[in-house]
């Protein structure tokens, strides 16, 4: 056995260790998991650039694929994109072994179901407009491998994340990201180090894609969905930081802009609500472009 399935003799009797020692060892393992991303910065950046280019030139979807722990890690990242960056629900897709019920109850046997993988790709008409991010600790999971193979054959951009080197999943994708986390403290429990590295990787990938798509301006989440009182206050703060207006003016701009932060920023800069809407529409919803167009008027 090698990689994530290897047995580390250092932890063979961890069940007999003092609790504080076991906890310390697990914390060290989590730190090592994050360190595994360092060597992959270039590969991650290249994948993000390609994904952003694909998604900016189409109305394609960002799809997440996986089985078991890896699938749940992937889906967890995807569901955050709409509230955080205003990424449309209809432009998200989840290709999960066992379907969405596997999010709540283990369906580990589904990881071998290549027929279901092919069916999901076909049923959702995955194609050249789409980007598929597939995650599998082993790099061998049949369901996830079939997702990548079929998606790539249909023209989708594919990004694979695995924790073992020289595996079929990494070889099948357009962009391969190896998170070499090695053996687990509890043998084979990839929800530990491998899962931590996966979560960090997909978080970085999706955030970088959103950066490149103009969903962030001056370090602020300008496409954030304002859905409660806390976020209302945060939105007003974003408008104030970017425009230098007063709190009262920021609140008023948000109200006139139907709680859209990008619209409110343009309004606070002097645009009418109608002008703000038109500027955003004509500039792909990207605030930086809309501001530049407004300032040229």
Which residues are known catalytic residues?
80, 111
What angle do helix axes 229-243 and 261-268 make, rounded to 10 degrees? 40
CB-based contacts of 201, cutoff 8 Å, min separation 6: 37, 40, 44, 161, 177, 179
10 phi and psi, to 5 degrees?
Answer: -60, -25
Provide the CB-side half-sphere exposure for 277 (13 A, CA): 8
Residues 119/121/124/127 CA torsion (nearest 10 deg)? -150
Cβ atoms of 49 and 42 closer than 8 Å? no
Taking CA atoms, 103 is separated from 67, 70, 97, 271, in Å, by: 10, 11, 10, 45
Which of 30, 22, 25, 79 is closest to 198 using CA atoms?
30
259 phi and psi, to 5 degrees?
Answer: 65, 15
What angle do helix axes 287-296 and 273-282 make, rounded to 10 degrees? 120
């Amino acid at each position: 056995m090698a990689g994530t399935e290897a047995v580390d003799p250092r932890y063979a009797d961890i069940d007999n260790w003092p609790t504080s020692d076991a906890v310390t060892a697990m914390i060290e393992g989590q730190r090592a998991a994050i360190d595994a991303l360092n060597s992959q910065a270039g590969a991650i950046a290249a994948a993000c650039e390609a994904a952003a280019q694909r998604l900016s030139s189409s109305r394609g979807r960002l799809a997440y694929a996986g089985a078991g722990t890896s699938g749940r890690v992937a889906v967890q990242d995807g569901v955050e994109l709409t509230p955080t960056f205003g990424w449309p629900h209809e432009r998200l897709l989840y290709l999960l072994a066992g379907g969405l019920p596997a999010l709540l109850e283990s369906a580990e046997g589904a990881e071998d179901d290549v027929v279901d993988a092919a069916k999901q790709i076909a049923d959702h008409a995955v194609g050249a407009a789409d980007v598929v991010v597939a995650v599998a600790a082993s790099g061998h999971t049949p369901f996830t491998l079939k997702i990548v193979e079929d998606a790539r054959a249909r023209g989708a951009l594919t990004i694979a994340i695995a924790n073992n080197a020289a595996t079929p999943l990494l070889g099948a994708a357009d962009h391969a990201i190896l998170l070499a986390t090695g053996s687990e403290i509890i043998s084979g429990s990839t929800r530990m180090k491998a899962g931590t590295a996966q979560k960090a990787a997909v978080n970085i990938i999706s955030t970088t894609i959103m950066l490149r798509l103009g969903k962030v301006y001056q370090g602020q989440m300008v496409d954030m969905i304002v859905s409660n009182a806390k976020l209302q206050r945060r939105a007003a703060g974003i408008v104030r930081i970017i425009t230098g207006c007063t709190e009262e003016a920021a609140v008023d701009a948000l109200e006139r802009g139907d709680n859209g932060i990008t619209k409110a920023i343009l309004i606070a800069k002097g645009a009418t609500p109608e002008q703000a809407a038109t500027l955003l529409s004509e500039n792909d919803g990207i605030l930086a472009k809309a501001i530049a167009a407004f300032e040229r008027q």
